[in-house]
Amino acid sequence: MLKVTDLRGRTPSTSELRRVMPRGGTDVNSVMPTVAPIVEAVKEHGAAKALEYGAQFDGITPASVRVPQDVIDNALETISDEVRTALEEAISRIRKVHAAQKPEPHTTELGPGATVTEKFIPIDRVGLYVPGGEAVYPSSVLMNVIPAQEAGATSMVVCTPPQAKFDGWPHPTILAACKLLGVDEIWAVGGAQAVALMAYGDDSENLEPVDIITGPGNIYVTAAKRMVNGVVGIDAEAGPSEIAILADDSADPVSLAFDLISQAEHDLLAASVLITDSEELANQTLKEIEERYTVTLNSDRVKAALVGEQSGVVLVDDLEQGIAVADAYAAEHLEIHTRNAREVAERIKHAGAIFVGEYSPVPLGDYAAGSNHVLPTSGTARFSAGLTTHTFLRPVNLIEYNKEALAEIGPHIIVLADDERLPAHGEAIRARFEEQ
């Protein structure tokens, strides 16, 4: 089912590895002609235009953009005790991890009377997008809201699509998750129009614009985030989800098969990649996949993802080459199923998140490991990170020198300013020490 790329007996360069690894992806530019008019229309006409697009794409218009508080309150009563308990446990674990991520201010003394203090200021107003199409993602509420709260954001809005079967309001489980987290501002808007409305707001409807937009979405949401980037900050341009598994002959092919299948369940374009130096393990895993994927609920979606160009098996000579291949691929999720898995994991340089050993599968991170599941895709883990508390913080330096400290460094500043032919910079220093 999965195509096989055999790298044994070769030493491919990093450039070649990036070309030959299974990779799908989407062309965000291809939908820009569709998305640009939506963003511009919402920028010009606000909530009314966003609701108009919602009626076109979602087939429903909510009674208001903002979800009433009683609808949010009632949603919590609709979920089962089991779901509520699971959400509460996940919240506890995610909050504990993200609280620990918040850095402390620190001061560097460069000499008597010369200090630079770095402090961290939370982004003031945060916009969080939560998808609501074919699937329901209360986990995305948790993963976006909690780090923003732990950073100290003072205001936030969750945007999620209206649902025809729920009278035009978002899915109750989404609302219930918001209620458990204390989020009371929810807009029943989805798609590119939601991103535009968060970026530009609407004074007539008392919908305040945000300063940063985070959260996953389809290609239209991604294109809209690209368009408003600069007006507001964004977390990333997320592509289809992906897993890579680095395994040797000690791995359990049944576990590997289940993990590859579970990732393929996300999306038709989801990527499932196995990297191994054991041809026997690869064959056993492929056999297990064939026997097991047909019985899962989303088997058609799984099959489409597994046979796609983005999924496959990569055969390597040894673990060293396997690590090099994994780093070149830079997976969103990387599982390590080898002997001494922790030691191998410590050697990985490029991955969104690393799952160590048989009992740390990706679904753990999707829901309740405590880590965040909003991670870089499409190889961008080589230079970007997943969502954390840091995403919602801005480091700011406080520079404080007294007269003596400035006098000590001043001559050097004057020399450098003159060398750059910016003499007024030096004069601004010199003037402080000349008698008037």
List, by residue number, the catalytic residues.
332-333
CA distance 52 to 69: 23
Q: Among residues 1, 2, 22, 8, which one has the least CA distance to residue 279?
A: 8
Q: Is 193 annotated as a binding residue?
A: yes
Q: Is 241 annotated as a binding residue?
A: yes
- Which pair of structure tokens corresponds to residue 44? 């010009």
Instruction: Judge whether 74 and 178 are in contact, CB under 8 Å.
Output: no
CA distance 17 to 328: 6
Q: Among residues 222, 229, 302, which one has the least CA distance to residue 259?
A: 302
Phi, psi of 65 (to 5 degrees): -65, -50
Helical spans, DSSP H, in 330-402 = 341-347, 362-367
CA distance 174 to 130: 8
DSSP summary character for residue 59: S
Q: Is 425 annotated as a binding residue?
A: yes
CA distance 248 to 242: 20
Angle at 220 between CA 214 and CA 223, to 5 degrees: 65
Q: Is 249 annotated as a binding residue?
A: no
Beta bridge partners of residue 334, listed in sequence order: 244, 354
Residue indicated by tokens 């309150």: 73
Q: Is 310 annotated as a binding residue?
A: no
Angle at 227 between CA 311 and CA 206, to 5 degrees: 120
Q: Is 45 annotated as a binding residue?
A: no
CA distance 287 to 264: 16
Q: What does each C-alpha distance from 210 to 1, 122, 142, 261, 395 come to in angstroms?
A: 45, 13, 19, 37, 19
Q: Is 80 annotated as a binding residue?
A: no
- Give exposure, 93-115, as e/b (b: 16+ Cβ within 10 Å): bbbebbeeebeeeeeeeeeeebb
Instruction: Judge whether 130 and 174 are in contact, CB under 8 Å.
Output: yes
Instruction: Judge whether 90 and 364 are in contact, CB under 8 Å.
Output: no
Q: Is 263 annotated as a binding residue?
A: yes
CA distance 245 to 369: 18
- Which pair of structure tokens corresponds to residue 340? 């001494």
Q: Is 218 annotated as a binding residue?
A: yes
CA distance 343 to 334: 14
- Which pair of structure tokens corresponds to residue 161? 């699509």
CA distance 33 to 427: 52
Q: Is 266 annotated as a binding residue?
A: yes
Which residues are annotated binding-site positions?
129, 193, 218, 241, 263, 266, 333, 366, 420, 425
Which residues are annotated binding-site positions for Zn(2+)?
263, 266, 366, 425
Which residues are annotated binding-site positions for NAD(+)?
129, 193, 218
